[in-house]
Amino acid sequence: MEINVLKALGSAVVTTSVVLTAVAAQAADYPARTVEVIHQYGPGGGTDRFIRAIAEPMQEATGQSFVPISITGGNGVPAYVSFLQRPANGYTLVSLSPDDVINAALGRIDLSQVMPLVRIQYDQGLLLVSKDSALKSLDDLLDAEKANPGGIKVGVTGSAGFDDALIGLFNEKAGTELATVPFGAAEMVSNTLGGHVDMMYEEYGPTRGLIESGDLVPILLFSDERLPELPDVPTAKESGYDVTLGRWRGFGIKPDTDAAEIETLVSLFRDASANEGYKKIEADSALQYRSEFQGPDEFKAFIDEEIATYTEIMKQLGY
Amino acid sequence: MLDAFISAAGYMLGNPMSFLLIIFSVIWGIMFGAVPGLTGIVGVALLIPFTFAFDPTQGMLLLGGVYVGSTFGGSISAILFNTPGSPEAACTSLDGYPMAKRGEAGKALGIALAASAVGGIFGTLVLMFAAPPLARLALEFGPAEYFALAVLGITAIASIGGGSLIKGLIAGLLGLAVALIGLDPLTGVARFTFGNMMLLTGVSFIAAIIGIFALAEVLQRFADGLHKAEAITEVSTKLPSWAEFIATKATLLRSSIIGTIIGALPGVGATTAAFISYSEAFRWSKRPELFGKGSAEGIAAPESGNNAAVGGSMIPLLALGIPGSATTAVMIGGLTIHGIVPGPMLMQNNSDLVYSVFIGMFLANVLMLVFGLRAARLFALVLKAPYPLVGPAIVVLCMTGVFALNNNVSDVAVMLVFGGVGFLLKSLGLPVASFIIGLVLGPIAEVSLRQGLILADYDFVAMATRPIAGTLLLLSVLSLAYGVWGQLRRRPPQDPPNPQAEPERA
């Protein structure tokens, strides 16, 4: 009984959009058990690790676990469908990323069935070559393309996903014909190091060890500004090709979830993303520069923009 | 290097907790391997949060031990119930279960255990002493080489069933066809999914093998009627006699080498290693006609191969920071959560960690011998129960395991369908081994062929004449010819051998 009153009070406060003192609006007994976060990537991958990292402070705050559930394959569609099949009780979240937006842009899934909850990370990617590569810079790359259009092969992960969209957009802006070759994440690195593919696209976090040892050499960054970690690596933007797309990571929930529970989750995520331990993990992967916390409304507006952007890109790429 | 070993040993002796963790992790791993649907990957992933309580080195010891234990554990249920507990044990069912049905379950388990330990220790020794050069060798393998390797394995489908060439080909090609279901790995277009969203992932390999082996066997036993069913009576486990063990030494050595190399290749792991070891063991065996009917070599090959692949897949992980398998990919996640940057500098910057893992994995392989025997005995107790109780229990366990694997109900449907497929294959006399080889190696061959063609600007000759790829493809052709010749030679005298095939003998 008391619970219902609290929940009702919570919804009332939200709907009348009174300035919230977050505590009053939150569901007092939520979460009462483990919250599952469905994602489409492998265990141990970037998103899986991100969920574990952000869950740590949330666990401390609530005493409940937040566990990643990995449903891989099928370009993320099976993960999303599994999420839709779960009840709207606040105990199932879904990870959202540009891959989901691209799926929506290609008509594979309907993103209106999910309520964007929070966006937490915003990454930036690099073009990387092996230390033995003849291509040492963006200029080398452009010259090689001019001499032999379509001759440069770029290793990417995923098929017709985010990486393809980014390389496609770069081709559009730079007038190049870089061809993408999809690999698994590990084979992409080994094929680049082994010289089977000319270069690869990847974020800083997973490649940091190989960059620091000098085996992989970053030649181009896709972001607004250079990374302090890699001060010599130019951005595509400063070279005149306005490609700043990055992989972002956030969460969604069923739209008909109790409003007070949503409010609780948002404030839990907000606190967790500012947590010192979590911040350190972000900094390990140079993720702190573009990662700006977004609540439900901002995130929704952001995703709508992204859908428009990617619909346009995918159309230009002929998908 | 010796300094590093001494320092790491000092660390472990200074932290006796390390040894407890290794013991715990091996037992945990064997259990996860043995229960269908709970795989080594799940076992490792579940333990990652627990590693927070320890320092990174102890965390890695924990994960490494699970990996070692789970790779053997799968063979227990594969041999006793024809239910591969994990995908890498699928191949062990092919000969392990027939041997168990013959009343020699203990011997089959003993061979699997001894072979696992030999393979595991071999892989770990290579990891200890040759990780950096072998990691560099693995980098020489591009898509063309992966393709050639898969082709080498696939050429076995025609002959491996022991029966007719045609039936082997039919089963193998069916396996290849099933492997096409799902999202096209290069272009992202749905293939043969009939509008079912959940099939976009493709046919889950674990669900398929559990259906083909476990469910089909239960169906078969009930179809045969209870009176006919042979009872597996002997459930004690004993290591094979020295003579029996020595008899498989060539197989053990060959499979350990194959397993270590395949393990070191990123993206392919213990399952592929097991199947290629099996098909090579068959190819070089003096008694290939015993394969599929309970051959000792047929158990020793996949088990030494898949356990060698454990050490092998740690090679690129520790030397380059690239995971050699799905399980090591999870381990990388575990490392980075601890703030350790995996990469080529790991062996220098964290040498205590790396060398402790070496020692830990070695110990885990030895401990596996001790606990493997006990675990197998424990599982074998189930056989004392009457089959009308055990059969349905296996089905229930398989269904929950397959569901738990990916929280995906359609995987359960896939398992049920493949139970029927397995039953049909058997009824028609089509070799299950060929079907599974097509299913395992088909996707590797397809993806790498297409990647290789893009990289070679669609010039197949350029792709096939690269040194390693060319050698492997040549070996495939030769062994295929040798296999065909062997089959013709074994035919009854009224069917004279094809004279044209004779010169292939050389």
What are the pLDDT digits (tens) for B2-57? Answer: 888 999 999 889 889 999 999 999 999 999 999 888 888 889 988 988 888 899 99
Least confident interval from A69-73, A188-192, B301-305: A69-73
pLDDT band at A14 (very low <50, low <70, confident <90, very high): very low
Using the beta-carbon criterion (under 8 Å), do B138 and A191 form an inter-chain contact?
no
- Decide if B372 is inside a domain: yes
Query: What is the distance between the alpha carbons of residues A26 and A297, in angstroms, rounded to a whole number?
Result: 18
Tokens 């014909």 belong to residue: A177
Position B171, amino acid: A
Give the chain B residue nearest A196 (alpha carbons).
Answer: B142
Contacts of B457 in chain A (CB under 8 A): 151
Strand partners, A126: A202, A221
Query: What is the distance between the alpha carbons of residues B283 and B348, in angstroms, rounded to a whole number?
Result: 42
- The shortest CB-CB distance from A71 to any of B185, B346, B406 is to B406
- The shortest CB-CB distance from A187 to any of B183, B267, B406 is to B267
What is each CA distance from A313 to A26, A74, A166, A171, B341, in whole angstroms?
A: 40, 21, 9, 11, 34
Give yes or no for residue B334 having a pLDDT over 90.
Answer: no
Using the beta-carbon criterion (under 8 Å), do B200 and A159 form an inter-chain contact?
no
- The shortest CB-CB distance from B143 to any of A71, A81, A196 is to A196
Q: What is the pLDDT of residue A318?
A: 83
Strand partners, A39: A70
Give the chain B residue nearest A188 (alpha carbons).
Answer: B266
Least confident interval from A24-38, A121-135, B257-271: A24-38
Query: Is the bond preceding A57 in cis, omega lying within 30 degrees of 0?
Result: no
Give yes or no for residue B366 having a pLDDT over 70.
Answer: yes
Query: What is the distance between the alpha carbons of residues B259 and A94, in angstroms, rounded to a whole number?
Result: 38
The DSSP element (H or E) to which B158 belongs, if any, is helix B157-160
Contacts of A279 in chain B (CB under 8 A): none
Mean pLDDT of chain A, nearest integer: 89
Strand A66-70 with A125-130, pairing: unpaired
pLDDT band at A13 (very low <50, low <70, confident <90, very high): very low
Give the chain A residue nearest B42 (alpha carbons).
Answer: A43
User: What average pLDDT does this structure show over B179-202?
Assistant: 87
Q: What is the pLDDT of residue A301?
A: 97
Phi-psi region of A202 (alpha: psi -120 to 50; beta: other; left: phi over 0): beta
Contact between A62 and A268 (Cβ < 8 Å): yes
Query: What is the distance between the alpha carbons of residues A62 and A67, in angstroms, rounded to a whole number?
Result: 14
Q: What is the pLDDT of residue B373?
A: 84
Using the beta-carbon criterion (under 8 Å), do B455 and A161 form an inter-chain contact?
no
For the record, the structure tokens of A56 come out as 């740590």
Query: What is the distance between the alpha carbons of residues A205 and A212, in angstroms, rounded to a whole number?
Result: 11
Q: What is the pLDDT of residue B195?
A: 84
Q: What is the pLDDT of residue B232?
A: 59
Contacts of A132 in chain B (CB under 8 A): none
ipTM for the predicted complex comes to 0.87
Q: What is the pLDDT of residue B164?
A: 78
Q: How many other C-beta atoms can be found within 10 angstroms of the C-beta atom of residue B172?
A: 28
List the one residue out of A106, A239, A102, A194 whose CA is nearest residue B455: A194
Query: What is the distance between the alpha carbons of residues B34 and B379, in angstroms, rounded to a whole number?
Result: 9
In B422-446, which positions are buried (b, 16+ CB within 10 angstroms) versus exposed (e)?
bbebbeeebbbbbbbbbbbbbbbbb
Q: How many other C-beta atoms can be found within 10 angstroms of the C-beta atom of residue A42?
A: 21
Contacts of B185 in chain A (CB under 8 A): 159, 182
Contacts of A196 in chain B (CB under 8 A): 142-144, 455
Give yes or no for residue B114 having a pLDDT over 70.
Answer: yes
Nearest chain B Cα distance for residue A116, angstroms = 22
Scanning A159-188 for CB atoms below 8 A from B yields 159-161, 179, 181-187
- Decide if B11 is inside a domain: yes
Give me the helices (H) in B226-288, please: 242-247, 249-264, 270-284
Using the beta-carbon criterion (under 8 Å), do A281 and B185 form an inter-chain contact?
no
What are the pLDDT digits (tens) for B286-302? Answer: 888 889 999 999 999 99
Using the beta-carbon criterion (under 8 Å), do B142 and A52 form an inter-chain contact?
no
**Mutation to test the B interface, candidates A69, A191, A216, most B Cβ within 10 Å:** A191
Q: What is the pLDDT of residue B226?
A: 66
Q: What is the pLDDT of residue B503?
A: 41
Q: Which residue has the higher pLDDT, B162 or A298?
A: A298
Q: How many other C-beta atoms can be found within 10 angstroms of the C-beta atom of residue A309?
A: 16
Using the beta-carbon criterion (under 8 Å), do A71 and B326 form an inter-chain contact?
no
Architecture of the structural domain at A31-122+247-316: 3-Layer(aba) Sandwich (3.40)
Using the beta-carbon criterion (under 8 Å), do A74 and B344 form an inter-chain contact?
no
What is each CA distance from A48 to A53, A116, B276, in whole angstroms?
A: 9, 19, 32
In B470-484, which positions are buried (b, 16+ CB within 10 angstroms) versus exposed (e)?
eebbebbeebbebbb
Q: How many other C-beta atoms can be found within 10 angstroms of the C-beta atom of residue A36?
A: 17
What are the pLDDT digits (tens) for B75-85? Answer: 999 999 999 98
Q: What is the pLDDT of residue B500?
A: 44
Contacts of B326 in chain A (CB under 8 A): 42
Using the beta-carbon criterion (under 8 Å), do B48 and A52 form an inter-chain contact?
yes
- Which range of A178-192, B42-56, B322-336 scores highest in mean pLDDT? It is A178-192
pLDDT band at B329 (very low <50, low <70, confident <90, very high): confident
Contacts of A181 in chain B (CB under 8 A): 451, 454-455
Give the chain A residue nearest B348 (alpha carbons).
Answer: A213
Give the chain A residue nearest B406 (alpha carbons).
Answer: A71
Using the beta-carbon criterion (under 8 Å), do B266 and A197 form an inter-chain contact?
no
Residue A276 at interface with chain B, using a CB cutoff of 8 Å: no
- The share of chain B scoring above pLDDT 70, in percent, equals 93
Contact between B323 and B317 (Cβ < 8 Å): yes
Give yes or no for residue A3 having a pLDDT over 60.
Answer: no
Q: Which residue has the higher pLDDT, A100 or A185?
A: A100
Tokens 């939200």 belong to residue: A14
Contacts of B132 in chain A (CB under 8 A): none
User: What average pLDDT does this structure show over A13-35?
Assistant: 62
Query: Residue ranges of the domains in chain A?
Result: 1-27, 31-122+247-316, 125-222
Query: What is the distance between the alpha carbons of residues A206 and A218, in angstroms, rounded to a whole number?
Result: 13
Answer CATH for A125-222 from 3.40.50.300, 3.40.140.10, 3.40.190.10, 3.40.50.10800? 3.40.190.10
The dihedrals phi and psi of B183, each to the nearest 5 degrees, come to -70, 135
pLDDT band at B231 (very low <50, low <70, confident <90, very high): low
Contact between A239 and A28 (Cβ < 8 Å): no
Q: Which residue range is the domain that position B15 belongs to?
A: 2-489
Q: What is the pLDDT of residue B485?
A: 79
pLDDT band at B492 (very low <50, low <70, confident <90, very high): low
Give yes or no for residue B255 having a pLDDT over 70.
Answer: yes
pLDDT band at B236 (very low <50, low <70, confident <90, very high): low
SS3 B459: coil
Query: What is the distance between the alpha carbons of residues A245 and A253, in angstroms, rounded to a whole number?
Result: 24
Q: What is the pLDDT of residue B491?
A: 59
User: What average pLDDT does this structure show over A296-305?
Assistant: 96
Q: Which residue has the higher pLDDT, A5 or A227?
A: A227
Dihedral over Cα of A257, A258, A260, A261: its sign: negative
Nearest chain B Cα distance for residue A9, angstroms = 35
Q: What is the pLDDT of residue B484?
A: 75
3-state secondary structure A41-60: CCCCCHHHHHHHHHHHHHHH
**H helices, E strands: number in chain A:** 12, 10
User: What average pLDDT does this structure show over A116-133?
Assistant: 96
Give the chain A residue nearest B190 (alpha carbons).
Answer: A74
Tokens 């053990």 belong to residue: B252
Scanning A25-54 for CB atoms below 8 A from B yields 42-45, 48-49, 52-53
Give yes or no for residue A2 having a pLDDT over 60.
Answer: no
- Decide if B168 is inside a domain: yes
Contacts of B138 in chain A (CB under 8 A): 190
For the record, the structure tokens of A199 come out as 């270069």
Nearest chain A Cα distance for residue B335, angstroms = 9
Q: Which residue has the higher pLDDT, B233 or A148?
A: A148
What are the pLDDT digits (tens) for B148-174? Answer: 999 998 988 877 766 678 888 899 999
Q: How many other C-beta atoms can be found within 10 angstroms of the C-beta atom of residue B486?
A: 16
Query: What is the distance between the alpha carbons of residues B182 and B193, in angstroms, rounded to a whole number?
Result: 6
Contacts of A303 (CB under 8 A, 6+ apart): A96, A101, A111, A116
Question: Could you give the number of structural domains in chain B?
Answer: 1
Query: What is the distance between the alpha carbons of residues B238 and B113, in angstroms, rounded to a whole number?
Result: 9
Mean pLDDT of chain B, nearest integer: 88
Dihedral over Cα of A18, A24, A26, A27: its sign: negative
Contacts of A208 in chain B (CB under 8 A): 341, 343
- The shortest CB-CB distance from A42 to any of B138, B329, B344 is to B329
User: What average pLDDT does this structure show over A263-290?
Assistant: 94
Contact between A156 and A94 (Cβ < 8 Å): no
Contact between A278 and A103 (Cβ < 8 Å): no
Give the chain A residue nearest B140 (alpha carbons).
Answer: A194
Give yes or no for residue A22 having a pLDDT over 60.
Answer: no
Tokens 């620091």 belong to residue: A212
Residue A287 at interface with chain B, using a CB cutoff of 8 Å: no
Query: What is the distance between the alpha carbons of residues A198 and A157, in angstroms, rounded to a whole number?
Result: 15
Contacts of B463 in chain A (CB under 8 A): none
Burial of B49 (0-12, 13-18, 19+ CB in 10 A): middle
- The shortest CB-CB distance from A194 to any of B48, B140, B407 is to B140
Q: What is the pLDDT of residue B404?
A: 82
The CA dihedral of B113, B118, B124, B126, to the nearest 10 degrees, is -160
Contacts of A151 in chain B (CB under 8 A): 457
Q: List, in sequence order, every beta strand (DSSP E) within B98-210.
A: 182-183, 190-191
Query: Is the bond preceding A31 in cis, omega lying within 30 degrees of 0?
Result: yes
